[in-house]
Structure 1
Amino acid sequence: MATTNQPSGHRNNGGRMKAKTSRRARSVRTEMQLFRAACWLFSERGFHGTGIRDIAEIAGVAVSGMYYYASSKDEILEAVTRRVMETLVAGSEATLRDIDDPAERLVALMAVHVAFHARNPRAAKVADHEFQALTGEAREGVQRLRDAYEAVWADTLRAGVRHGVFQDRGNVARLALLQMATGVAHWYRADGALDIPQLCERFGDMALSLMGANHEGRLLKVQDLNMPDSELLLERIELSIEPRDGF
């Protein structure tokens, strides 16, 4: 029989480490299931129409076990809306990192926003429409993320006006562009006529048109510019808490 000098305690430690890793993996899966259930319910019934027991039932978790992950329904809503905004902010920053031209920056921002809302419609609707239910520090924290995200849009539009690329449409332009793209979450279907990259291109053209984007008097279209890489874009806006297969 082969022998080894490895202490028996070493094997026990390895077993405990594997057990801890397995528990952490189960914990992460359970947390994701709770957030996905909350996204689905909040988007279907609204925050106030959803009870904590509803989330637990859909997620297949005991109500008592939920409190390991969140102390209240409000905390779950905060976590969902925060993840949405963090993904939008990070996705925009990564996509804009090497783009200086205002027209290309606008097209890139529109692509991030449209792709996010097309790929993550339920989480997007929760963040867009149930945000008002947050209160106190939770609301203030998410609001700071929203303000930072919208500031990038405002800065891009101002830069375009300053360089003579855009017409000055005032603050209403930013609101109109964001609202137009946000609506994608309500009607886009993956089995429809357009895939997400094609949809981003269409919205990019509409954004350029709304801003009167031009180069030396010639109106600009997306085909005149560099679009973000579609594979990288979709990777950046992928949201793990989006319920993709329903419940």
Structure 2
Amino acid sequence: MSPVASRRNLPARSRTPSAQQTKSEQTELKLLQTATWLFSERGFHGTSIRDIADAAEVAVSALYYYTNSKDRLLEEIMRRSLGVLTSSAEAAVDGFGEPAERLALLVGSHAVFHARNPRSAAVTDHEFTALSGKVRREILGLRDNYEALWKSVCEAGVRDGTFAERGSVARLALLQMTTGIAHWYRARGELGVPELWEQFATMSLSLMGAERDGERLTFASLELPAAELLIDRAHLPIEPRRKPSGI
């Protein structure tokens, strides 16, 4: 049982973190950040458990206290990434009933997540084939649940006449388009996150043929919250913000 799993089974009165627990959590987070960086650079199969231990400056024997294999690290990276991706999307559309607004918010949430967490997103998007058995099925289920949210929004828009019928290809195109942000977006580039959201939302509404009362819908024609709210929700602690110290 991992340190995290064992903590979940403690009675409520014993859950006040000790200095040792805090240090353990920090080490676990460092290992996940290091594994994320290495998997995104070298691929899962191109990274060994010793590579991770060396890059994190942790003894291999100590690393096995936190995980019994690099497969478990990959699983945890994907679970945490998909957890934040899904929760941020659900929170974004909560309280918005119109399909156009909901689609713009889904696009914004997805775009912001990939802009802010490019390495975690790359690992989650491209290393799925490294999973097997029960874990593979469970991660696929998490992905399917997330995509089901997009499907429901697109279908609702078609039903009420806001969107044109484009089929599943349009939804997949929207997801692929915004997922690609992780590969090219740079925080110090010419586009800030608010501008990135605006451009991708407008392109997405156009692709879906979004109209209301005969008027074409764009990002500017919708009432949406500030981008900072989406940025806050997209925070993912395991995303490495710098090169591991041991490399």
- TM-score, L = length of structure 2: 0.91
Q: Distance in 2 between matches of 1:87 and 1:71?
A: 24
Distance apart, 1:227 and its partner CA? 2.3
Q: Show the counterpart of 2:64.
A: 67
Where does residue 116 of structure 1 map in the other structure?
113
Q: Which amino acid aligns with 2:104?
A: V
Q: Secondary structure of the equivalent of 2:18?
A: helix
Tell me which of 206, 212, 215 is aligned to 1:218.
215
Quote the offset at 1:111 in angstroms: 0.4
Tell me how far apart the structure 2 counterparts of residues 75 and 245 of structure 1 sit (CA, whole Å).
23
Q: CA deviation at 1:113?
A: 0.3
What amino acid is the match of 1:140?
Answer: R
More moved, 180-189 vs 209-218:
209-218
Q: Which moved more, 1:168-177 or 1:223-232?
A: 223-232
Render the CA deviation track for 1:99-152: whole Å, top value 9, x for unaligned.
110000000000000000000000000000001111111111111110000000
- Report the equivalent of 2:169: 172
Q: Which moved more, 1:20-29 or 1:104-113?
A: 20-29
Q: How far apart in 2 are the matches of 1:203 and 1:246?
A: 29
Partner of 1:13: none
2:87 maps to which residue?
90
Q: How does 1:11-30 map to 2 (within 5 A)?
A: 21-30=18-27
| Cα separation, 2, equivalents of 1:231 and 1:208 | 21
Query: Which residues in structure 2 correspond to 1:195-234 (within 5 Å)?
Result: 195-234=192-231
Tell me the percent identity. Answer: 53
Select which of 177, 183, 188 maps to 1:186.
Answer: 183
Structure-2 separation of matches of 1:166 and 1:68:
52
Matching of residues 29-108 of structure 1 within 5 Å: 29-108=26-105
State how many pairs are aligned.
230
Alpha-carbon distance between aligned partners in 2 of 1:142 and 1:236, rounded to the nearest angstrom: 21
Distance in 1 of aligned mates of 2:97 and 2:221:
15
Cα shift readout 1:25-59 (whole Å, capped 9, x = no counterpart): 11111011100100100000000000000001111
**Shift in Å at residue 229 of structure 1?**
2.7
**Equivalent position of 2:3 in the other structure:** none
Query: Which residue does 2:137 correspond to in 1?
Result: 140
Q: Which has the larger radius of gyration?
A: 1
Structure 2 unaligned segments of length 5 or more: list them.
1-13
Alpha-carbon distance in 2 for matches of 1:227, 1:88: 19
Q: What amino acid is the match of 2:217?
A: L
Structure-1 residue corresponding to 2:8: none
- Counterpart residue identity of residue 132, structure 1: T
Cα distance between partner residues in 1 of 2:67 and 2:228: 34
Matched, 1:130 2:155: no
For structure 1, the residue ranges without an aligned partner over 5 or more in a row are 1-16
Aligned equivalents of 1:40, 1:191: Cα separation in 2? 20
State the TM-score, normalizing by the size of structure 1: 0.91
Partners of 1:226 and 1:204 lie apart in 2 by 13
